[in-house]
Amino acid sequence: MRMIENKVEKNWAGQRIVSPDYLLFEAPREKHFMTGSEAVKEAVKRASVDASVSYPITPQSEAAHLIGELWAEGYVGVYFRGENEFGVMSEVAGAAMAGARVITTTSGPGTLRAFENFPMWSGTRIPVQLVLMARGVNSPLSIQPDNLEVDFLLDTGCMIWYAENVQELFDMIIAGFAVAEQPDVHVPIITAVDGFFVSHTREAIYLPPDDIALPPYNPYKSPMPVIDAEIPPGRFLRDPFVMKSNYISYATHASWQWEVRAAIERSRPYAKHYLRGLTEEFGDKDSDIVFVACGTAASQAKEAVRMLEETEGIKAKVVKLKTIRPFPYEELVEATKNAKYIFIPEFNVVGWLEREVRKALYKKSNAEIIGTPRVAGGMTMPKEIIVKEVLEYIK
Amino acid sequence: MAKLGPAHYSPYPVAVYEGVLTPPKGKALMFTEIVDEEIAMREAAKAMLTRENATIFPGPQVLYAWNEEAKEKAKLIREMAEVLNAKIIPMYDYRPKYPKIDPEVEINPNHPNLTIWHNKIKACIFIGVHCHYANVALKIIRSETDCFTIAMCSQAGHEDAMITLRDQHVEEIEKFIEVAKEVKKELGIS
């Protein structure tokens, strides 16, 4: 809801409404020191969020409860705890279909329990934001940093962005709404970070004032009608073409699914603008040793680049991927054109990013692609390990 | 590539997978090219005036009086149909029609090809259709028919149409009607 007071437009919390560009790039910022979970709270506080549903799961329960504090303070319209993760993801879908800006958080097994909802979100074209503080999936249960669940999410029809640190997480949450709500995009956005390393670690962060906020979501620009008495929730889900086995049904389903993927592709120019590029480079730009990484693996790779130069006199660079869906194909090909060795450090056992990079560079690079170092289950990735692996390969 | 169909048995590759995105503000998309809006309007009018059984498919956003703009647009669409000598077949809603759609009476985004096949439509304009449903329908049409599709969108446009005009509100529709009148005169069509 917008209110006009002395020609200044305000949201229901009394914050002045400003453009995403102003909030992200122009507003003055002050230095703070906080965890990733606290950064989620600060981003939500400035995002005119209508509703949030939570279910506590390690490691992001603090973020969810901090959003609850925002509700108590009057910054979030509706907030409650779901029955379980499946309930949460269904409930936020209902709120979004009714025209609300919605955010929630989860990780690890909670993601899997809720899983059926993610392709439903994208198929219903709702711009829900999910902050995924990756924790991994295993039995026996793991509650340590690991990003295996991101692999599961790659083909759900949701955009996936990956923040490296607390600052990027804050900015990506704001930008995420601005991009996901574009009428020609309008698919869910998963903003991923490495759990514990980012969610629980205090870092310096620069924040704009908290008396300004994003414009409220306008559901009337949605590519699907908002639900009301005439259009019950998920009307198309119950209508007959879903259940029919005939060529009409097949053609509709095929077109529908291509359309969802096409919507992710349409996000590229918007994401380039609000993220200042889909990738970021660090180190010697002409180097033939390249690390391709996302999240905190990129942070560790940057430390390894420094160490390689200081101790071995070897130059290298990092290409950090900010978006996984859409995947930055062109940017990666350009950034690795001089590469002889491409290392992909990852925090999971399967090497999903290595697979993505191999696919993107197939027949476009002669570099040796090396899926290492790869750690999982809560292991850390010290720069010394990365340097050791590089030296073993290049000698 | 947003070329004239029929493309494949399935709507793949969709236009974005071949690098065609919606046009930037102030511009239009004609096949794979970003062009000035007026150029695209002229070509759209020409296609509608010269191809067989040209038809306008108005959607719910202009069929129901949601707001003043919808009412204005609805009147202009009738005028547009007269200028273009085009039929109007509405898209009342988005529910698939079973057991059988009446393709002379309506078009539906889930099986738009039936209406186009039955009525032998070689050029059409989508207007007032919610973007997701327009995109679903345009992909099926390009896949299965040789209909020349034109999208007049109040938002960002539709790259799977042969011509897409974005940010089309009352003023732009009035402009298109004037362009169509000029093209009609140039072609010597009454």
| CB contact (8 A) between residue B155 and residue A125 | no
Q: CATH number, domain at A288?
A: 3.40.50.920
Q: What is the pLDDT of residue B53?
A: 98
Q: How far apart are CA A351 and CA A332, in angstroms?
A: 17
Size of interface A-B (CB pairs under 8 A): 93
CB of B167 within 8 Å of a chain A CB? The answer is no
Say if the Cβ atoms of B95 and A239 lie within 8 Å: yes
Taking contacts as CB-CB distances below 8 angstroms, the residues of chain B near A259 are 14, 132, 135-136, 139
- Asked if the structure places residue B3 within a domain, the reply is no
Calculate mean pLDDT across residues A70-87.
96
| Residue ending a domain, choose from A171, A188, A220 | A220
Nearest chain B CA: its distance from A229 CA (Å)? 14
Q: Closest chain A residue to B130 measured between Cα atoms?
A: A223
pTM of the entire predicted model: 0.95
Indicate if A130 and A212 belong to the same structural domain: yes
Same domain flag for A215 and A305: no
From residue A298, alpha-carbon distances to A143, A165, B60 in Å are: 22, 10, 48
Q: What average pLDDT does the segment A161-185 reach? A: 98
Q: Which residues of A touch B (CB under 8 A)?
A: 125, 182-184, 186, 221-225, 235-236, 239-241, 244, 248, 251-252, 254-256, 258-259, 261-262, 265-266, 268-269
**Per-residue pLDDT tens digits for A178-210:** 999 999 999 999 999 999 999 999 999 999 999
Mean pLDDT calculated for residue range B152-159: 96
Contact A258 B94 (CB under 8 A): no
Mean pLDDT score, A44-73? 92
Is residue B122 assigned to a domain?
yes
How does strand A78-81 pair with strand A51-54? parallel
Give me the pLDDT at residue A237, please: 55
Task: For residue A142, name the pLDDT band (cuts at 50, 70, 90).
Answer: confident
| CA-based radius of gyration for chain B | 15
Residue A249's pLDDT is 72
pLDDT of residue B97: 72
Structural domain contains residue A229: no
More confident residue, A334 or B93: A334
Considering only CA atoms, which of A387, A376, A382 is closest in space to residue A353? Answer: A376
Q: Which residues of B touch A126 (CB under 8 A)?
A: none
Q: Which of A224, A248, A261 sits opposite B132 (nearest CB)?
A: A224
Burial code (b: 16+ CB inside 10 Å, e: under 16) for B159-173 equals: bbbbbbbbbbeeebb
pLDDT of residue B90 exceeding 70, the answer is: yes
Answer yes or no: are the C-beta atoms of A178 and A112 closer than 8 Å. no
What does the mean pLDDT of chain B come to? Answer: 92
- Answer yes or no: do A70 and A196 share one domain: yes
In a domain, A356, yes or no: yes
Q: Are residues A92 and A214 in the same domain?
A: yes
Local confidence band at A248 (pLDDT 50, 70, 90 cut-offs):
low
- For residues A264 and A67, give the distance between their C-alpha atoms in angstroms, rounded to a whole number: 27
Contacting residues of B for A251, CB less than 8 Å apart? 10-11, 111, 113, 140, 143-144
Q: Quick one: what percent of chain A has pLDDT higher than 90?
A: 86
Q: What is the pLDDT of residues A249-290, one digit of tens each?
A: 788 888 999 999 999 999 999 999 999 999 999 999 999 999
**Do A204 and A92 belong to one domain?**
yes
Domain coverage including residue B98: 37-184
Asked if A184 and B131 come within 8 Å (Cβ–Cβ), the reply is yes
Would B27 be classed as within a structural domain?
A: no
| Interchain proximity A223–B135, CB inside 8 Å | yes
Asked if residue A228 belongs to a domain, the reply is no
Q: Is B178 on the interface with A (CB under 8 A)?
A: no
At A60 the pLDDT is: 74
The total domain count for chain B is 1
Q: What percent of chain B has pLDDT over 90?
A: 77
**Structure-block tokens of residue A98:** 């009714």
Q: Which residue of A has its CA nearest to B60?
A: A225
Judgement on whether residues A73 and A194 belong to the same structural domain of the protein: yes
A273, exposed or middle or buried, with CB in 10 Å at 0-12, 13-18, 19+?
middle
Is B18 inside any structural domain? no
Q: How many domains does chain A have?
A: 2
Range of the domain at A189: 8-220
The shortest CB-CB distance from B156 to any of A183, A235, A252 is to A183
| Chain A residues inside the 8 Å CB shell of B115 | none
How many CB atoms sit inside 10 A of residue A315's CB?
15
Q: What is the pLDDT of residue A146?
A: 95
The residue ranking higher by pLDDT, B93 or B85, is B85
Whether residue A26 is found in the same domain as residue A175: yes
Cβ atoms of residues A101 and A47 within 8 Å: yes
Contact B156 A182 (CB under 8 A): yes
Chain B, nearest residue to A232 by Cα:
B95
- What pLDDT digit, counting tens, does each position of A295-333 carry? 999 999 999 999 999 999 999 999 999 999 999 999 999
Would residue B78 count as lying in a domain? yes
Has residue A263 been placed in a domain?
Answer: no
Please report which helix (H) or strand (E) contains residue A165, including its range: none
Collect all residues of chain B within an 8 Å Cβ-Cβ radius of residue A186: 131-132
A244 falls within a domain: no
With contacts defined as CB-CB under 8 Å, which chain A residues touch B156?
Answer: 182-184, 266
B94–A contact, CB cutoff 8 A: yes
**A295, part of any domain:** yes
Rounded to the nearest 5°, which phi and psi values hold at A132?
-105, 110
Q: Which residue in A259, A273, A325, A329 has the most chain B C-beta atoms within 10 A of its own C-beta, making it the best mutation to test that interface?
A: A259
Mean pLDDT for A32-55 is 97
List of chain B residues whose C-beta atoms are within 8 Å of the C-beta of residue A234: none
> At B95, is the pLDDT very low, low, confident or very high (cuts 50, 70, 90)?
confident
How high is the pLDDT of residue A230? 67
pLDDT tens sequence across A83-107: 999 999 999 999 999 999 999 999 9
**Same domain as A301, residue A181:** no
Contacts of B60 in chain A (CB under 8 A): 225
pLDDT at A4: 63
A181 to chain B, minimum CA–CA distance in Å? Answer: 12
- At residue B88, φ and ψ (nearest 5 deg) are -120, 120
A104: nearest Cα among A173, A49, A53: A53
> What are the structure tokens assigned to A376, written together?
């999982």
- CB-nearest to B136 from A182, A222, A255 is A255
Q: A176 to each of A77, A219, A339, how far by Cα in Å? A: 19, 16, 32
Confidence of residue B1 (pLDDT cuts 50, 70, 90): very low
* B159 touches A: beta carbon within 8 Å: yes
Q: What digits encode the pLDDT tens for the residues B55-80? A: 999 999 999 988 999 999 999 999 99
Both A185 and A292 in one domain: the answer is no
- Structure tokens, A158: 């949701």
| DSSP three-state, residue B163 | strand
CB nearest to B155's CB, from A183, A239, A254: A183
Residue B135 inside a domain? The answer is: yes
- Which CATH number is A187's domain given? 3.40.50.970
Kindly state whether residue B11 falls inside one of the protein's structural domains.
no
pLDDT at A240: 52
- Domain assignment of residue A226, yes or no: no
Residue A141, pLDDT > 90, answer no
Asked if the model's pLDDT at residue A355 lies above 90, the reply is yes
What is the predicted pLDDT for the residue at B17? 86
The shortest CB-CB distance from B155 to any of A184, A256, A262 is to A184
The verdict on A214 and A289 lying in the same domain is no
Same structural domain, A189 and A299? no
Kindly report the CATH number assigned to the domain that includes residue B132: 3.40.50.12640
Q: Are B29 and B20 in contact (CB under 8 A)?
A: yes
Taking a C-beta distance cutoff of 8 angstroms, is the pair B31, B5 a contact? Answer: no
How close does chain A come to B114, measured CA to CA in Å?
9
Inform me whether the pLDDT recorded for A125 exceeds 70: yes
- Does the interface predicted TM-score (ipTM) exceed 0.95? no
